[in-house]
């Protein structure tokens, strides 16, 4: 790509160099022919025709050369004006030089122009070539002006004009210098009209800023006048006109048409620029608004990075209002009621934080006024305004100042400031503009915050998922399979994590420890204590010979170490597979359900919840029960999530339903019974999810 | 679920809290606030009337645990009255009757406070 374009440039340069050399050679040949012709009083015939073709070819060569050096597609009209102006000046300078040198000129004979001497021939050649070059540059530059805002038909109209221009010029090909025919005159007029048709393409003026429009008016007027002068210098008997006529009649036509076209074009350009002046400011404003709308779309893509967003906002504020400095402060927390808003400076440009501190000082500064009014505050004269008079002494370089509250969902979320060096820097339109801008900024900032929040929420959710995974690992991954017994367990937290705990551990070859517990409260705090409970159980259970002993030790470990409002209910059973008995102690937990001989008994030995009271009371109250377990007996341990599962009307599942269910399905295996219980609860609550953590452990004695 | 309300009644020197509805993890902070408020004002003799309390969860019980030590240090107490069987069962299961005085009627609880004071 790059290579190609470089190659293209080199190619253009070479063809330009070849063209200009060729043109030079041709011009020289033409000059020699002219010089020779002066001495020979004969009609050169074919040579004369060839000479005229050489002139055309030479100018085409020049055109190719000019194209290779002229700026291509220059989008700045003022630059094009400059080129035209300089070209014109050089032409007029040439006219002046010609006028100052005494040249003998031509003798008009019949319809012929006879140069009086060789100097005349020389100057006629030079002047014609120069004028031709000027005409080509003018045409090329005006064409570029017209092309700045290309519309449908722009190119077509211009081509029509150029074709007619060519035809009109060629219509005088065989005419004598002083001969004029109706046909060629008609073509001349048509060409002028075609030029006029192209003189309405002034869309480029519309897009100029007010300043540029003023320039455009000046330039257009100047060029208009200069082109009139140019036309005057091209009058009939003047040397330049005669030179052109003598040198190449079509060239003279070409030059005259372009000269007249230019007068019309720049006359029109002057008028149009003038007409656009009153609306220039409004147009400028619209243009800035438009570009700020464009900029706002840039804001939207930046909401993912708050810092980037606020800096962009600050930069754009300067861009939009042409202010010297700008800064943005946002409210950290909006404590409604006491009005204590904490502002945080998040972005600034071209101003010192210390200066901002003075300007926005909560008591003496401007911020107070903005908070009070909740409206835009404009300080036209920073030094004199009573609101800023006192602080103006400590802050330099501020003439006028604006503060715009950023409001989202009727809540103020921050303030955007801009300052200018000059006084009265923020007029009504600008204030409106910045207010509109501020509205969009508020939305962008709010969105950015929401995104940040949702990212944070997402992160917390991820953390909870990790916690959930970890907690699942805290529950037994596999249950022991004690001889003659069958076991099943289920546990599900209401939220991601919960406070229910169960464990089954083989204390020795014929003793099995079964524990089930419930930490008060729900969620994360409960989950932490549940983990602690697991640690306590793993650490203490094997060293305790009795269930009560374990609970006493567990209470000792927990009481005073956990939060006052937290406690744990626990039930602990040691099953002896050798004598088929169960030792049971309870610390505030739901009773153990024992199905024996088709009836259920709720075992509820005394005991206070863990962590509720010190050893003195706890140890005194704690009991231990010994229960024989027969073949076919079923023991159900559960947490209150089972019995307190609620319907939407508030009715609880209750202990009785559970008792009935266990009695009814006494033949079922623990696994079957467990799923029957869960199904029954779901059917009862009408929901698949639980409001509370729910845990069930079922033990059944199968054989001897 | 947040169908819970508290009414505070001054039965000088005792303050009676009338609880109504469901006291669970969602509504517990409300009760916590009320307790904190009473204690901040120096009221340490508190009777909790559970007449209209339809449910209490472990989180609800936790609130009493959180404050009972403080009020007892100030020679006050938290006593309960008018408990439904259902709510009592929850208290009983955890061994709360061993930790708190629970009365059938609010008046008895207030009376207890007053009699202790007069001793």
CB contact under 8 A, B62 and A617: no
Residues of B whose CB is below 8 A from A587: 95
Mean pLDDT of A521-546: 91
In this model, does residue A588 exceed pLDDT 70?
yes
pLDDT in tens, A410-423: 888 899 999 998 88
Q: With a cut of 60, say whether residue A336 has pLDDT above it.
A: no
B118: closest CA of chain A, how far (Å): 28
* pLDDT surpassing 50 at residue A337: no
- Write out the two tokens for A245: 């006529």
**Which phi and psi angles does B75 have, rounded to 5°?**
60, 25
Closest approach of B112 to chain A, Cα-based (Å): 22
Please name the residues in contact with B113: beta carbons below 8 A apart, sequence gap of 6 or more.
Answer: B13, B14, B45, B47, B77, B79
* Mean pLDDT in residue range A196-222: 82
CATH value of B4-118 in 3.10.20.600, 3.30.70.660, 3.30.750.24, 3.40.50.720? 3.30.750.24
Among B36, B64, B65, B86, most A C-beta atoms within 10 A, so best to mutate, is B65
Q: Which two tokens stand for residue A550?
A: 């374990």
Contacting residues of A for B58, CB less than 8 Å apart: 518-521, 567, 569, 640
What is the 8-class DSSP label of residue A7? H
pLDDT at residue B65, as a whole number? 93
Q: Do A564 and B95 touch (CB under 8 A)?
A: no
Separation in Å, CA A334 to CA A73, A187, A356, A410, A440: 55, 79, 21, 12, 20
Partner-chain contact A565 B99, CB within 8 Å: no
Q: How far is A460 from chain B (nearest CA, A)?
A: 20
Q: Report residues of chain B scoring pLDDT below 70.
A: 1-2, 117-119
Interface of B with A (CB under 8 A): 22, 25, 54-55, 57-59, 61-63, 65-66, 69, 93-96, 98-99
Nearest to A612 among B25, B57, B95 (CB): B95
Minimum-distance CB partner of B93 among A565, A588, A613: A588
ipTM (interface predicted TM): 0.92
The A-side interface with B (CB below 8 A) comprises: 518-523, 563-567, 569, 587-590, 604, 606-609, 612-613, 617, 621, 640, 644, 650, 692
Q: Rounded to the nearest 5°, which phi and psi values hold at A3?
A: -60, -40
Contact between A653 and A681 under an 8 Å Cβ cutoff? The reply is yes
- The pLDDT of residue A279 is above 50: yes
Indicate the pLDDT class of residue A42, thresholds 50, 70 and 90: low
C-alpha–C-alpha distance, residues A589 and A49, integer Å: 123
Q: Which of A519, A564, A608 has the CB atom closest to B98's CB atom?
A: A608
Count of Cβ atoms closer than 10 Å to residue A557 Cβ: 18
Distance of residue B99 Cα from the nearest chain A Cα, in angstroms: 8
* Exposure on the CB side of residue A386, measured as CA atoms within 13 A: 0
Residues of B in contact with A590 (CB under 8 A): 93
Lowest average pLDDT, out of A66-80, A108-122, A387-401, goes to A66-80
Question: Partners of A581 in the beta sheet?
Answer: A576, A628
Of B57, B65, B69, the CB nearest to A567: B65
Closest CA to A290 of A441, A448, A436: A436
Burial track A68-84 (b if 16+ CB lie within 10 A, e otherwise):
beeeeebeebeebbebb
For residue A433, what pLDDT is reported?
Answer: 80
Residues of A in contact with B65 (CB under 8 A): 564-567, 612
Q: How far apart are CA B118 and CA A333, in angstroms?
A: 51
User: Which chain B residues are within 8 Å of A692, Cβ to Cβ?
Assistant: 57
Q: Please, are residues B71 and B102 in contact by the beta-carbon 8 Å criterion?
A: no
Nearest CB neighbour to A520, from listed B55, B61, B98: B61
Q: How many angstroms away from the CA of A470 is the closest CA of chain B?
A: 24
pTM above 0.90, yes or no: no
Distance CA A598, CA A270 (A): 111
Q: Which residues contact A491 (CB under 8 A, 6 or more apart)?
A: A475, A498, A500, A501, A502, A693, A694, A695, A696
Residue A462: the pLDDT is 92
Nearest to A566 among B22, B62, B69 (CB): B62
Tokens representing A201 are: 């393409």
Cβ neighbourhood burial of B11 (10 Å; 0-12, 13-18, 19+): middle
Distance CA A441, CA A408 (A): 10
Written as six digits, the tokens of A52 are 């005229």
The number of C-alpha atoms within 13 Å of A174 and in the hemisphere containing its C-beta is 3
Say what the pLDDT of residue A365 is: 78
Cis ω before B13 (30° cut-off from 0) = yes
Q: How confident is the model at residue A1 (pLDDT cuts 50, 70, 90)?
A: very low
What's the rounded mean pLDDT across residues A691-700? Answer: 93
What torsion, rounded to 10 degrees, do the Cα atoms A15, A17, A23, A25 define? -120
Q: Which two tokens stand for residue A127?
A: 């002047």
Which pLDDT belongs to residue A3?
A: 53
For residues A375 and A638, what is the distance between their CA atoms, to the nearest angstrom?
62
Per-residue pLDDT, B32: 93
CA A564 to chain B, closest CA, distance in angstroms equals: 5
Give how far B97 is from chain A: nearest CA, Å. Answer: 9
The verdict on a CB contact (< 8 Å) between B63 and A567 is no
Count the neighbouring beta carbons within 10 Å of the beta carbon of residue A29. 15
Residue of B nearest to A652 (CA): B55
From the list B69, B95, B99, which residue is nearest A607 (CB)?
B95
The reported pLDDT for the residue numbered A635 is 96
Q: What is the count of residue pairs from A and B with beta carbons less than 8 Å apart? A: 65
The beta-carbon neighbor of A588 closest among B59, B66, B95 is B95
3-state secondary structure of A195: helix
Distance CA A276, CA A270 (A): 10
Q: How far apart are CA A316 and CA A398, in angstroms?
A: 19
The string of pLDDT tens digits covering residues A637-669 is 999 999 999 888 888 899 999 999 999 998 999
Query: CB distance A588–B63 less than 8 Å?
Result: no
Percent of chain A's residues with pLDDT above 90: 33
B58·A564 Cβ contact <8 A: no
């Amino acid at each position: 790509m790059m290579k190609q374009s470089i190659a293209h440039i080199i190619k253009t340069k070479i063809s330009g160099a070849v063209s200009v050399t060729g043109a030079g050679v041709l011009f020289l040949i033409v000059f020699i022919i002219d010089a020779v012709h002066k001495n020979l009083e004969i009609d050169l015939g074919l040579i004369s025709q060839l000479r005229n073709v050489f002139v055309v070819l030479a100018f085409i060569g020049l055109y190719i050369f000019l194209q290779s050096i002229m700026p291509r597609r220059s989008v700045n009209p003022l630059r094009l004006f400059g080129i035209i102006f300089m070209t014109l000046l050089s032409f007029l300078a040439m006219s002046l030089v010609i006028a100052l040198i005494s040249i003998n000129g031509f003798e008009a004979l019949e319809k012929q122009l006879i140069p009086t001497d060789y100097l005349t021939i020389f100057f006629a050649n030079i002047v014609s070539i120069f004028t031709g070059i000027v005409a080509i540059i003018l045409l090329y530059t005006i064409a570029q002006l017209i092309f700045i805002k290309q519309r449908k038909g722009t190119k077509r109209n211009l081509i029509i004009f150029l074709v007619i221009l060519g035809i009109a010029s060629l219509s005088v090909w065989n005419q004598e210098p002083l001969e004029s025919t109706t046909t060629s005159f008609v073509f001349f007029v048509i060409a002028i009209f075609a030029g006029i048709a192209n003189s309405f393409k002034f869309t480029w003026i519309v897009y100029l800023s007010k300043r540029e429009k003023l320039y455009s008016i000046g330039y257009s007027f100047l060029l208009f006048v200069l082109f009139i002068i140019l036309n005057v210098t091209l009058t009939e008997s003047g040397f330049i006109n005669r030179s052109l006529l003598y040198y190449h009649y079509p060239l003279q036509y070409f030059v005259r048409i372009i000269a007249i076209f230019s007068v019309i074009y720049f006359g029109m350009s002057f008028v149009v620029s003038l007409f656009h002046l009153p609306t220039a400011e409004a147009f400028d404003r619209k243009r800035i608004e438009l570009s700020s709308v464009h900029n706002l779309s840039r804001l939207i893509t930046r909401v993912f990075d708050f810092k980037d967003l606020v800096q962009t906002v600050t930069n754009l504020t300067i861009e939009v209002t042409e202010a010297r400095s700008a800064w943005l402060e946002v409210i950290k927390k909006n404590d409604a009621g006491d009005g204590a808003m904490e502002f945080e400076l998040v972005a600034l440009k071209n101003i010192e934080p210390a200066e901002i501190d003075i300007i926005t000082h909560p008591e003496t500064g401007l911020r107070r006024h903005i908070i009070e009014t909740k409206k835009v505050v404009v300080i036209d004269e920073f030094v004199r305004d009573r609101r800023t008079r006192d602080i103006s002494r400590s802050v330099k370089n501020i003439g006028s100042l604006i503060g715009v509250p950023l409001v989202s969902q009727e809540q103020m979320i921050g303030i955007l400031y801009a300052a200018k060096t000059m006084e009265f820097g923020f007029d009504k339109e600008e204030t409106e503009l910045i207010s509109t801008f501020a509205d969009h900024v508020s939305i962008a900032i709010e969105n950015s915050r929401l995104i940040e929040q949702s990212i944070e929420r997402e992160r917390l959710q991820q953390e909870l998922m990790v916690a959930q995974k970890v907690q699942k690992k805290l529950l037994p991954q596999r249950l022991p399979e004690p001889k003659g017994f069958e076991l099943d367990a289920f546990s599900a937290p209401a939220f991601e994590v919960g406070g229910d705990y169960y464990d089954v551990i083989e204390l020795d070859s014929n003793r099995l420890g079964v524990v089930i517990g419930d930490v008060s409260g729900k969620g994360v705090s409960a989950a932490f204590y549940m983990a602690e409970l697991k640690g306590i159980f793993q650490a203490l259970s094997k060293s305790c010979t009795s269930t009560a002993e374990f609970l006493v030790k567990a209470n000792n470990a927990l009481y005073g170490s956990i939060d006052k409002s937290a406690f744990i209910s626990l039930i602990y059973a040691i099953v002896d597979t050798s004598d088929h008995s169960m030792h049971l102690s309870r610390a505030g937990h739901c009773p153990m359900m024992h199905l024996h001989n088709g009836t259920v008994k709720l075992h509820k030995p005394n005991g206070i919840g863990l962590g509720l009271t010190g050893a003195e009371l706890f140890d005194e109250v704690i009991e231990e029960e010994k229960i024989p377990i027969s073949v076919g007996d079923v023991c159900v341990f559960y947490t209150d999530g089972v019995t307190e599962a609620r319907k939407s009307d508030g009715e609880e599942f209750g202990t009785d339903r559970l008792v009935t269910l266990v009695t009814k399905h006494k033949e079922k295996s623990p696994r079957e019974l467990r799923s029957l219980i869960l199904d029954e609860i779901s059917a009862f609550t009408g929901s698949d999810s639980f409001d509370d953590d729910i845990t069930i452990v079922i033990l059944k004695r199968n054989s001897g | 679920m947040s169908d819970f309300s508290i009414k505070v009644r001054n039965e000088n020197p005792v303050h009676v809290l009338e609880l109504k509805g469901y006291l669970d993890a969602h509504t517990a902070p409300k009760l916590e606030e009320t307790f904190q408020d009473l204690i901040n004002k120096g009221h340490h003799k508190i009777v909790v009337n559970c007449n209209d309390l339809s449910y209490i969860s472990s989180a609800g019980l936790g609130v009493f645990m959180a404050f009972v030590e403080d009020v007892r240090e100030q020679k006050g107490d938290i006593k309960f009255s008018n408990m439904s069987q259902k709510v009592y069962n929850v208290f009983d299961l955890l061994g709360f009757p061993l930790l708190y005085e629970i009365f059938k009627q609010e008046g008895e609880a207030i009376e207890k406070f007053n009699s202790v004071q007069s001793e």
